[in-house]
Structure 1
Amino acid sequence: MPAFGGTEDPPRNTDAEPWSDPEIWQMIASGNGRGVHHIESPAMTSLACMADVRDIDRLVAIVSVIRPGAANGLKKTQFARRAQGLEPVDYVHESLSKVLSSTFGVVAYEEHILQICEEFAGLPGGRADVLRRALVKQDEAKIAEVKVEFMAAAKARSRDAYSIAHVWDLVAGFKGYAFCRAHSTAYAVEAYQGAYAKRYHPAEFMACVLTNGKGFYSPLVYTLECRRLGIGFLSPDVNASSHAFTVEPEHTPSGTHAPALAKSIRVPLRSIKGLSETTLARWRKERCKATFQNVRDFCERVHPQGQEALDLIRVGAFDSLGGTRIEQFWRCLHSARDAAIDSDWLFLNTKEEAIRAQFREEPGILQMLQDETELLGYTVSGHPLDCHPNIRWDTYCPISELPRYHHQKVTVCGLIIVSRSHLQENGEPMKFISICDRSGIVECEIFADAYRAYGLATVRYPIVQVTAEVTPFDNQAGFTLAVQRIEKARHIQMTKASS
């Protein structure tokens, strides 16, 4: 998969007509829309791959096809196959060809119910809308009531019994809500615009996604997507951070002839867990007056609580002010004592010895990553997998290599970054998890049998070993991973000499 967000933004296809930029459609059709509103969930990225979405009409359609009313009865697979010519389009009755031509015979939009009732049966619009609402609410009594009227109206139009039964099945299969086409179109246009921003301005786009904080995924997943795109991260900084995630301009290290560094996203101070709004407000007010010269200057002007000061040290927010983190700790403590603040300032509600032990020696990279994970929810100084150095990654199939193993059993390993419980159609519990290694992210489908046997492992271990079958989509453009086993990951065996 291409990686963007390096030393310069990728070139735009300026010759492309609106809605026809092949670079954007390639992103959507390959399932790389993570972060793009409306098309970023695992279900939507999979459907975009299944249907090979490369035009605006098909994108409009899948926005509604994914909804419960349109999606039941394997309609997603039906739409995807028909859209690519992998199975013939069946309109059930010739009168519906005009109504369902844009969706290849699949009932995808709520107005399709009204249009089918009118074109096929001549049912009055008001009664057809009653049926639509009953289907959305799954009101079986009302559906049965309108069914009688539908049958009678269709017979009055001289429709044959076979066609009446099959068209009714088509209509009655639309149970649950979906969108009207206008609604789907608005979402699809917004999705295309988001995909455009991600394709041509990846760092700025992902910074906005992280700032907004209302996407489908956790910030951890979005930081992993940034890393896939070649975008790095910079620690919160009392002088450089703002209220939002911001993109640092490209720069070359002073005094060197090194190439310009890739764009990175600066993490805002507000992302630090436990930092109060009161402290943040004082920080913003004081920073507007003048930059902070050193740790003591910050403490005397902002007056953070003891734990807040410790957490700022742990995430590197004072690193640009100079000194080691041990020195920063003692400067915080001395600034409080010199200002006649309670000498227990850093130790309120906390065991003093535990804090002193924490700052007895400079943290190594592993400790820094663990602190960032605890306080931010993701790592800044390195990849999240750096927190797990003892995993035998070289013994597993990389996630990026899975497309090579269609219809084969593979064993992959990854950090669980998304976990969603679900019920199968028969009511049995199952689970979806997304795992990542350094090469990518993949969703795993844990059906009921495997979930009963191995579901506990998805809670017990942050990193799991997954044995599954790679089941390709009909168009071979993507796949699902049907889980057979989930276990604890293999670890490097430490000998007595090495330990």
Structure 2
Amino acid sequence: RRRGIALLPPDINLSEADFTVETMDEGKETIRVGLKQVKGISTVALDSIISARCQEPFHSARDFVRRSSLPQDILENLVRCGALDSLQENRRYLLSRLPGWLEGHRAGTCGEKLLFAESGEDIDDFSPEEKRVWEYNILGLEIRESRMAAWRKQLKARGVYSSRDLKDIPSGASVQVAGMLLHPHRPPTRSGRITVFLSLEDEYGLIDVTVFEDVYIKYGSCIFSPQTGPLLVSGQLQRRGQGISIIAKQVVKAGHKYFL
């Protein structure tokens, strides 16, 4: 995305297991997210989808349920991350119908009226923000415009720097940064003291953050929380060669109210 290459969501008729390059009608290259990126999906489930699709494309969401023979939890994750949007855009509607379709499949009746359109007009779909949260939870990345881009004006007004801004800030300066949490890890250390390394992703790039034990004791629950959302980190900018990192002094969850 930072290089102007569009990221396309997973699609049960178009995605392979891994990320693939697709060429649009105007000749522009894009990257399609692979099905392997979907949380909880197994090799057996991937093989089932691709094998059924090789016979013929899936014609409807109910056709996919019938022919893929996947368990409900994987089907729900595929729906929530948008992998069935090309067949039915209303994700809330699909989630409401899955139990009945699965029961019908087990009873041998799922094939009735299989190709008739399912409008879903009687059920309101999830909001764009709800979809964004599900996509991030299930795929571990943002398909849509970064939430940080949508909030940049408010962030800037509060003195929060972007990853792009950091290149012009001297080492030792106090800064505030914000982004979506990526790859927190706590490696063993020779001293036995806790050190956590993590990255924050905003619309321009990644920000490396180091959290030492004294800060981790206070704010570790924010880092390893099951709830997703942007983190706001206050700390000191450190330069080593060409690298830039933030030594954290405070780490907090930045809820939606923060950006109002």
Is this a same-fold pair by TM over 0.5?
A: yes
* Aligned residues between the structures: 243
Question: Which of the numbers 135, 139, 144 marks the counterpart of 1:372?
Answer: 135
Name the structure 2 match of 1:393: 155
Say whether 1:234 aligns with 2:25. no
Name the structure 2 match of 1:150: none
Q: Deviations over 1:467-495 (max 9, x none)?
A: 3333334x6x4444333x2142565658x
Aligned residue identity for 2:250: I
* Aligned equivalents of 2:145, 2:216: Cα separation in 1: 32
Name the structure 2 match of 1:65: none
Kept after mapping to 2: 8 A contact 1:236/1:269: yes
Aligned residue identity for 1:401: D
Say whether 1:404 aligns with 2:168. yes
Q: CA deviation at 1:440?
A: 2.2
* Aligned equivalents of 2:138, 2:257: Cα separation in 1: 31
Q: CA deviation at 1:360?
A: 4.1
Change (3 A) 1:486 1:267: same
Name the structure 2 match of 1:441: 206
Q: CA deviation at 1:451?
A: 4.3
Q: Deviations over 1:260-297 (max 9, x none)?
A: 6x532222334323345444333322222222222233
Unpaired runs of 5+ residues, structure 1, are 1-226, 253-259, 344-358
Unpaired runs of 5+ residues, structure 2, are 110-121
Say whether 1:243 aligns with 2:17. yes
RMSD over aligned CA atoms reads: 3.8
Aligned residue identity for 2:66: E
Kept after mapping to 2: 8 A contact 1:418/1:434: yes
Change (3 A) 1:401 1:292: same
Kept after mapping to 1: 8 A contact 2:18/2:37: no
Question: Which of the numbers 175, 181, 189 marks the counterpart of 1:416?
Answer: 181
Name the structure 1 match of 2:80: 314
- SS of 1:228's equivalent in the other structure is coil
Kept after mapping to 2: 8 A contact 1:457/1:486: no
Kept after mapping to 2: 8 A contact 1:378/1:384: no
Q: Deviations over 1:386-424 (max 9, x none)?
A: 8x9699422202222122221422222233313233566
* Aligned equivalents of 1:313, 1:458: Cα separation in 2: 27
Name the structure 1 match of 2:197: 432
* Aligned equivalents of 1:335, 1:420: Cα separation in 2: 40
Q: How does 1:3-82 map to 2 (within 5 A)?
A: none
Change (3 A) 1:283 1:431: closer
> Which is higher, the Rg of structure 1 or of structure 2?
1
Report the TM-score when normalising by structure 1: 0.41
More helix by share: 1
Change (3 A) 1:381 1:281: same
Q: CA deviation at 1:364?
A: 1.5
Change (3 A) 1:464 1:432: same
Change (3 A) 1:444 1:280: closer
Q: CA deviation at 1:342?
A: 7.4
Name the structure 2 match of 1:149: none
Aligned residue identity for 2:142: T
More strand by share: 2
Change (3 A) 1:392 1:429: same
Question: Which of the numbers 246, 252, 255 marks the counterpart of 1:488?
Answer: 252
Kept after mapping to 2: 8 A contact 1:415/1:463: yes
